[in-house]
């Protein structure tokens, strides 16, 4: 290990420190060390497992396939609800584009239901649809629908008069006009809506599973957390939380950012 | 039905565009505003016809009506012997705004888009035209660039190439150079004349700049404001030389536009 040499050129350490990724990794390592130290000091394996025990539980869960299966269960149901929510949002926006009454309908419904956390509908959904995926999908649709519809509609309305005229000048009308002019021109807003919708849906999904608790026969990550809490298997609870965070990060930053980089940012429509 | 030059509308036939006793109104919230009143003029093939007037003379409204975006309140617009029923790819508009290019398409794709969207020609012919007209405006090196990477002048040249590639019966140009700096504007005017020498398209060009009108037009139609009325029509040869009496066309136009009520004098056709 050579000490950084004094001189005008930055040392490898300084150069590495300039990278955001390196600094963030250092923060994570620091937090992990704090966690490990405190847990060792507390020495209460039941309530506050060490960081290494949590990692071991995460590894065991992944190796046995249980966490992956639970994660897949959550994602699977989530995607169903997400897709249904987007389809409904598309329908609402088409209505809103078609008539003033449709636009009023969309605005009224959004204003009413957007502030309501989707999870608050779960008790109703359980009564209407019983314990099972139908209830989950119902609340997921509600969590996705309003932000996607609102942003998409706002995006369409914000398409410039010039671009609209260009499209009509070329003889485009109806669905061809919508899909070849309006949708790409409104893509930044549409992606924002999809992104917010996904974030809402993911949080709603985990929360719903926690409310379901043990009464559900099978379940996803939320239930995995709940189940392990009931068995006081706290390191597995942490492992479940980690998985929730990881999946959220991968989708919100991996998937959506990649899509944005390849589309709206490449086209200079968003910076 | 037939596209391109056909039927009895060769040079000696009826005018390409005949506007007679046209009145246009904007429907406001409370009352309608008359933008253009009782205006008549004709445009023949290969004309470089300029609509010149101060703001408020309804020249852009008039262009919109020829483009089919506005329905006349009175009078009629005959294009190729038929009343204008709506926007169509036989009259391509070129706008002042730089956002008339579709940001999600490259230069080449922007030029190709209307050719495909209007089903004007099949792929190979479209590709040929795109290459040809992009080269004509000197942007071959930027064919694969996205619009946001181009300067304002380059964007307007792409819009010009896109319009010309359609080989429309008429180019409707709404102050296309007004948002450019003086130097670029001057270059673009030369370029437009050079392109016209090559292609001999017909253009109806709206501007509020007297020098631009004199430089570009072989016919200049003067409009007075509030509401827009036809003031006079002049012929142009691209020069601003003094006539026998020592008056320059620009001075005469200036006098007619701003010297209060000179009356509906019909200026003699001469440069």
Q: What is the pLDDT of residues A34-76, one digit of tens each?
A: 999 999 999 888 888 999 999 999 999 999 999 999 999 899 9
Q: Give SS3 for A58.
A: helix
* Radius of gyration from C-alpha coordinates of chain B: 19
Quick one: A128 exposed, middle or buried, by C-beta within 10 A (0-12, 13-18, 19+)? exposed
Q: Is B109 on the interface with A (CB under 8 A)?
A: no
Instruction: Cite the DSSP H helix spans in A43-65.
Output: 51-63
- Residue A237: predicted pLDDT: 93
Decide if A165 and B91 are in contact by the 8 Å CB cutoff. no
- Residue B5: predicted pLDDT: 44
Does residue A256 surpass a pLDDT of 90? yes
Task: Find out whether A179 and A194 touch, Cβ atoms under 8 Å.
Answer: no
Does residue A151 surpass a pLDDT of 90? yes
User: What does DSSP assign to residue B98?
Assistant: G
How sure is the predictor about B7, in pLDDT bands with cuts at 50, 70 and 90? Answer: very low
Task: Find out whether A213 and A197 touch, Cβ atoms under 8 Å.
Answer: no
Residue A185: C-alpha distances to residues A92, A158, B29, B76 (Å): 19, 9, 29, 34
Q: Give SS3 for A129.
A: helix
> What pTM, to 2 d.p., does this model score?
0.84
Give the residue carrying structure tokens 């705004």: B97
- Residue A38: predicted pLDDT: 93
Decide if A171 and B88 are in contact by the 8 Å CB cutoff. yes
- Residue A271: predicted pLDDT: 65
Residue A8: C-alpha distances to residues A5, A13, A14, A15, B152 (Å): 9, 14, 12, 13, 43
Q: What is the rounded average pLDDT for all residues in chain A?
A: 89
Does residue A86 surpass a pLDDT of 60? yes
Smallest Cβ–Cβ distance between A269 and the set B89, B103, B149 belongs to B103
How many percent of chain B have pLDDT more than 70? 90
How sure is the predictor about A7, in pLDDT bands with cuts at 50, 70 and 90? Answer: low
- Residue B231: predicted pLDDT: 82
Give the residue carrying structure tokens 């030369």: B190
Q: Is A114 on the interface with B (CB under 8 A)?
A: no
Beta strand B219-224 pairing with B48-52: parallel
* Of B219, B145, B152, B237, nearest in space to B187 by CA: B152
Strand order in the sheet with B229-235: B91-94, B170-174, B203-207, B48-52, B219-224, B229-235
User: What does DSSP assign to residue A61?
Assistant: H
Rounded to an integer, the average pLDDT of B24-43 is 88
Q: Is A174 on the interface with B (CB under 8 A)?
A: no
- Residue A40: predicted pLDDT: 92
Residue B36 pairs with which residues in a beta bridge? B24, B228
Q: Is A23 on the interface with B (CB under 8 A)?
A: no
Beta strands in chain B (DSSP E): 17-27, 32-43, 48-52, 74-79, 82-83, 91-94, 170-174, 203-207, 219-224, 229-235
**Neighbouring C-alpha atoms within 13 Å toward the C-beta of A73:** 20
Cα separation of the two ends of chain A:
41
- pLDDT tens per residue across span B164-213: 999 999 999 999 999 888 888 898 899 899 989 988 999 999 999 999 99
């Amino acid at each position: 290990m050579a000490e950084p040499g004094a001189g005008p050129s930055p040392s490898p350490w300084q150069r590495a420190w300039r990278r955001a990724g390196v600094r963030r990794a250092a923060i994570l390592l620091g937090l992990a060390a704090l966690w490990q130290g405190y847990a060792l000091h507390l020495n209460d394996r039941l309530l506050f497992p060490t960081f290494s025990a949590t990692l071991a539980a995460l590894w065991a869960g992944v190796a046995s396939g249980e966490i992956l299966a639970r994660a897949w269960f959550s994602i699977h149901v989530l995607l169903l609800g997400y897709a249904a929510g987007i389809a409904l949002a598309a329908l609402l926006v088409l209505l809103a584009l078609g008539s003033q009454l449709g636009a009023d309908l969309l605005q009224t419904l959004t204003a009413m239901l957007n502030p309501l956390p989707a999870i608050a509908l779960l008790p109703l959904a359980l009564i209407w649809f019983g314990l099972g995926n139908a209830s989950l999908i119902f609340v997921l649709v509600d969590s996705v629908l309003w932000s996607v519809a609102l942003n998409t509609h706002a995006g369409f309305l914000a398409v410039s008069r010039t671009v609209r005229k260009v499209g009509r000048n070329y003889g485009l009308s109806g669905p061809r006009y919508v899909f070849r002019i309006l949708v790409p021109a409104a893509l930044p807003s549409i992606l924002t809506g999809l992104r917010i919708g996904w974030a809402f849906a993911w949080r709603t999904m985990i929360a719903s599973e926690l409310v379901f608790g043990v009464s559900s026969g099978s379940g996803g990550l939320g239930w995995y957390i709940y189940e392990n809490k009931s068995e006081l298997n706290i390191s597995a609870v942490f492992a479940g939380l980690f998985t929730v965070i990881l999946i959220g990060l991968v989708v919100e930053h991996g998937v959506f950012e990649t899509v944005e980089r390849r589309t709206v940012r490449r086209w200079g429509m968003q910076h | 039905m037939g596209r391109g030059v056909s039927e009895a509308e060769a040079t000696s036939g009826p005018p390409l565009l005949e506007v007679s006793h046209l009145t246009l109104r904007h429907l406001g919230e409370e009352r309608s505003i008359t933008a253009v009143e009782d205006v008549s003029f004709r445009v023949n093939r290969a004309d470089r016809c300029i609509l010149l007037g101060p703001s408020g003379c309804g020249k852009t409204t008039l262009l919109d009506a020829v483009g089919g975006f506005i329905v006349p309140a009175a009078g009629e617009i005959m294009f190729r012997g038929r009343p204008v029923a709506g926007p169509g790819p036989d009259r391509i508009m070129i706008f002042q705004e730089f956002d008339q290019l579709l940001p999600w398409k490259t230069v080449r794709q922007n030029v190709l888009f209307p050719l495909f969207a209007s089903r004007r020609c099949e792929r190979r012919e479209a590709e040929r035209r795109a290459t040809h007209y992009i080269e004509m405006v000197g942007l071959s090196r930027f064919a694969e660039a996205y619009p946001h990477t181009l300067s304002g002048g380059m964007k307007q040249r792409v819009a010009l190439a896109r319009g010309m590639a359609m080989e429309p019966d008429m180019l409707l140009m709404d102050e296309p150079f007004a948002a450019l700096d003086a130097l670029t504007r001057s270059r673009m005017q030369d370029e437009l004349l050079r392109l016209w020498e090559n292609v001999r398209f017909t253009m109806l060009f709206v501007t509020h700049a007297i020098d631009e009108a004199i430089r570009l037009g072989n016919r200049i139609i003067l409009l007075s404001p509030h509401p827009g009325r036809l003031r006079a029509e002049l012929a142009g040869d691209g020069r601003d030389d003094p006539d026998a009496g020592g008056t320059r066309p620009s001075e005469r136009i200036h006098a007619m536009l701003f010297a209060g009520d000179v009356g509906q004098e019909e200026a003699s056709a001469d440069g």
